[in-house]
Amino acid sequence: MKRVNVGILLLFFAQLAFAQEIEFKAKASKNRLGINERLRLTFSVNKQGVDDFKPPVFKDFKVVGGPMTSTNFSSVNGKMTFEQSYTYTLQPRRQGVLTIGSAEAKYDGKVIRSKPLKVTVTKAVEIPKDPNDPRYVASQNIHLVAEVSNASPYVGESIAVVYKLYVDVNSVSVRNTREVESPAFNGFWNQNIEVNGLGAKDGTYQGKQVRYVIVKKAVLIPQKSGKLIIDPMEMEISAGVPIGRTDLFGNMISRNTNYTVSSGRRTINVKPLPLESKPVDFSGAVGDFNFKVTSSKSNLKANESAQIKVEVSGKGNLKLIDLPSIETPNGLERYEPEHKENIRTNLSGLSGRVYDQYTVVPQYRGKYKIPPVSFSYFSLEDKTYKTITNEAIVINASEGKTPIAETSAIIKRDVRATGSSIRYISTNTSLEPIEKRKDFLGSDLFYALLALPLLAIPIGIFIGKKKRERDSDIIGNKRRKADRLARKYLSEAKKQLGTKESFYIALEKALHNYLKAKLQVETSDISKEKIASILRNKKVNEETIADFIKVLDDCDYARYTPTTNVMMQQEYEKAKIVISKIDKQL
């Protein structure tokens, strides 16, 4: 009887607990914070059976963590409670009174919504100088700096910007890095320079001996004068901060912290080009150049072609140069030019050559003069305008039709080349008397074609049998398909075996590209926790997810530690196996 009564009481309390109204709440860890701070946002519901949770659009916030889900079921003094929560870590993108919209979910077929929240974001606040706070320690020992080669260039003059990450390795250790905000180069023509590996070097920051890596390089060419702003680059750093204690083996114990570091804004004061002595034909070329116009031939026959090359070479804003065009006299047809470039880009700017190649064809016998062509540019070496003028080119057509009378008007036009402009007419044949040909009926070819269907039947039966056996091998087909996919995405990493930096960068790209192709998400822009959540939703088992995340972690960690060829081969095999496992489960 006592057991029955206890059961009835528990059932009664459970009904009371679940008879309460459903509550869907949003709660922020703080309602006022600096733009350099973060807040924790939690959505919670007090009923089981809630599904299809949809967070609000965080247009004014950057999601740096989450969602982390948790479920809590408890009974205190006979009162039963239930709570399911979704937690995000957010960082504001701008100052002001920002609104976090309503989240949505479904319960018992109905849509429920949380109430919007308002958060006040102020200018950056100073981080408390607490030597025991890992985030403060990270802020004092990790710095991202944008180094500009020239803060006061002319319009059209190349400058370089190099982003360096300085770390005091005696105070913190960098575990992982991720670019969360790319710099904006408004008002500049820009081109990134590939960073081959993140090799750490010795350097100084504010007089202190540190280590640094170059994380980004770019060449910029300002397009207008005045103050131009280079917006900051931001990186999220996962760092380990020693807490001053050691473990049983004497190793220093570290506490992990995530810290967002910014390069800050840089102002470039761009000087206008001088107006004094500016040539009429100046089109914006800035640098130091050579200019020439050459002809492949000077003596031709009528309707024979020659190539006229207009070329600028040297160092400067070659990709932005408008080459001068040539003028041709009546009777000398000119085709549209073919534009070609051979330009090298490095931190000192652009160098190489660009040229337009014209094809010209004389229509009649005679001499044709192509007038001189001029090219003007602003010399950075002398800070003056310079003009180079080539000599006139004379094309002598010694043979061909006589020019028509001067009274007839000659209309000069550009000739456009087409694939069927000139056709070849064959003058040789291979005809033979028809009586010399052998009859097809009764020939060797006739009997071979007659026997071919009889031979094709057993061959077709054999091939069909093998195909059915292969198609019925479901496990084998899945394994072969998964192995082919793994080899496809890991082919570049395999080429880089033996080269540590290139190998681990290629391996990490392969893993991200695989998920991008299979899941249609940009995995390089989301955290490892989000990747794990996506795979979990796709019914990939936890062991395989853990293996995948471990390979990604190994790629990050191996860049800063000694690695052998054997270890790289092992990492390659691990990645191949984990891709095959995921593909089978998907």
Cα separation, 520 vs 532, in Å, equals 15
DSSP letter assigned to residue 451:
H
Cα separation, 578 vs 87, in Å, equals 29
Q: Which residue has the higher pLDDT, 381 or 549?
A: 381
Looking at residue 407, its pLDDT comes to 39
Arithmetic mean of pLDDT, 396-403: 73
ω before 67 within 30° of 0 (cis)? yes
Helix (H) or strand (E) holding 201: strand 201-205
Arithmetic mean of pLDDT, 481-505: 71
Per residue in 82-138, pLDDT (tens digit) is 788 888 888 888 888 989 988 888 888 888 888 899 999 988 877 666 667 777 888
Provide the token pair at 398.
Answer: 């010694």
Do the Cβ atoms of 233 and 181 come closer than 8 Å?
Answer: yes
- Name the residue among 477, 503, 475 with its Cα closest to residue 573: 503
Tell whether the model's pLDDT for residue 499 goes beyond 50.
yes
Q: What is the DSSP string of 377-421?
A: EEETTTTEEEEEEPPPEEEEEEESPPPPPTTS-----EEPP-TTS
DSSP letter assigned to residue 194:
-
Per residue in 431-470, pLDDT (tens digit) is 666 555 566 666 777 777 777 787 778 887 878 777 777 6
Tell whether the model's pLDDT for residue 232 goes beyond 60.
yes
The percent of the chain in helix, strand and coil, each rounded to the nearest 5, is: 25, 40, 35
Tell me the pLDDT band of 419, cut-offs 50, 70 and 90: low
Q: What percent of the chain stands above pLDDT 70?
A: 80
> Are domains 2-122 and 286-415 of this chain identical in fold?
yes
Q: Are strands 117-122 and 32-34 parallel, antiparallel or unpaired?
A: parallel
So what's the architecture of 474-585 in CATH? Up-down Bundle (1.20)
- Name the residue among 87, 90, 85 with its Cα closest to residue 31: 90
Looking at residue 166, its pLDDT comes to 93
Looking at residue 250, its pLDDT comes to 61
Cα separation, 172 vs 240, in Å, equals 6
Q: Are strands 173-181 and 338-346 parallel, antiparallel or unpaired?
A: unpaired
Name the class of domain 286-415: mainly beta
Provide the token pair at 503.
Answer: 């190998």
Cα separation, 241 vs 246, in Å, equals 13
pTM over 0.95: no
What b-and-e string marks burial along 103-134, b requiring 16 or more CB atoms within 10 Å of the CB? bbbebeeeebebeebebebeeeeebeeeeeeb
Tell whether the model's pLDDT for residue 264 goes beyond 80.
yes
Tell me the pLDDT band of 359, cut-offs 50, 70 and 90: very high
Q: Which residues contact 382 (CB under 8 A, 6 or more apart)?
A: none
Looking at residue 425, its pLDDT comes to 55
Tell me the pLDDT band of 486, cut-offs 50, 70 and 90: low
Arithmetic mean of pLDDT, 234-257: 74
Looking at residue 267, its pLDDT comes to 93
201 burial (CB, 10 Å; 0-12 / 13-18 / 19+) is exposed
Cα separation, 258 vs 290, in Å, equals 52
Cα separation, 310 vs 390, in Å, equals 10
Q: What is the DSSP string of 53-67?
A: EEPPP-TTEEEEEEE
Tell whether the model's pLDDT for residue 266 goes beyond 50.
yes
**Residues composing the chain:** 586
- Name the residue among 91, 29, 505 with its Cα closest to residue 259: 91
Cα separation, 25 vs 85, in Å, equals 9
450 burial (CB, 10 Å; 0-12 / 13-18 / 19+) is exposed
The region that residue 515 occupies, defined by phi over 0 for left and psi between -120 and 50 for alpha, beta otherwise, is: alpha
Provide the token pair at 396.
Answer: 């002598």
Tell whether the model's pLDDT for residue 416 goes beyond 70.
no
Task: Return the domain boundaries, the chain.
Answer: 2-122, 134-270, 286-415, 474-585
Tell whether the model's pLDDT for residue 358 goes beyond 90.
yes
Provide the token pair at 1.
Answer: 């009887």
Tell whether the model's pLDDT for residue 16 goes beyond 60.
no
Do the Cβ atoms of 217 and 159 come closer than 8 Å?
Answer: no
Strongest mean pLDDT among 305-309, 404-408, 551-555: 305-309
Per residue in 271-330, pLDDT (tens digit) is 999 998 899 989 899 999 999 999 998 888 777 889 999 999 999 999 999 999 999 888
Looking at residue 113, its pLDDT comes to 87
So what's the architecture of 2-122 in CATH? Sandwich (2.60)
- Cα distances (Å, whole numbers) of residue 519 to 85, 103, 532, 566: 26, 24, 12, 32
Do the Cβ atoms of 252 and 80 come closer than 8 Å?
Answer: no
Provide the token pair at 77.
Answer: 């003094």
Per residue in 505-546, pLDDT (tens digit) is 877 777 777 777 777 666 555 677 778 888 888 888 888 888
Tell me the pLDDT band of 409, cut-offs 50, 70 and 90: very low
The region that residue 137 occupies, defined by phi over 0 for left and psi between -120 and 50 for alpha, beta otherwise, is: alpha
Helix (H) or strand (E) holding 335: strand 332-335
Tell whether the model's pLDDT for residue 58 goes beyond 80.
yes
Mean pLDDT, the chain, integer = 80
Provide the token pair at 387.
Answer: 């003009």
Provide the token pair at 402.
Answer: 């006589």
What b-and-e string marks burial along 59-97, b requiring 16 or more CB atoms within 10 Å of the CB? ebbbbbbbbeeeeeeeeeeeeeeeebbbbbbbbbeeeee
Tell whether the model's pLDDT for residue 160 goes beyond 80.
yes
Cα separation, 172 vs 241, in Å, equals 5
Arithmetic mean of pLDDT, 239-268: 77
Q: Which residue has the higher pLDDT, 85 or 562?
A: 85
- Name the residue among 296, 283, 289 with its Cα closest to residue 324: 283
Per residue in 132-158, pLDDT (tens digit) is 777 788 888 889 999 999 999 999 999
Do the Cβ atoms of 500 and 559 come closer than 8 Å?
Answer: yes
Strand order in the sheet with 366-370: 299-301, 393-399, 366-370
Tell whether the model's pLDDT for residue 186 goes beyond 80.
yes
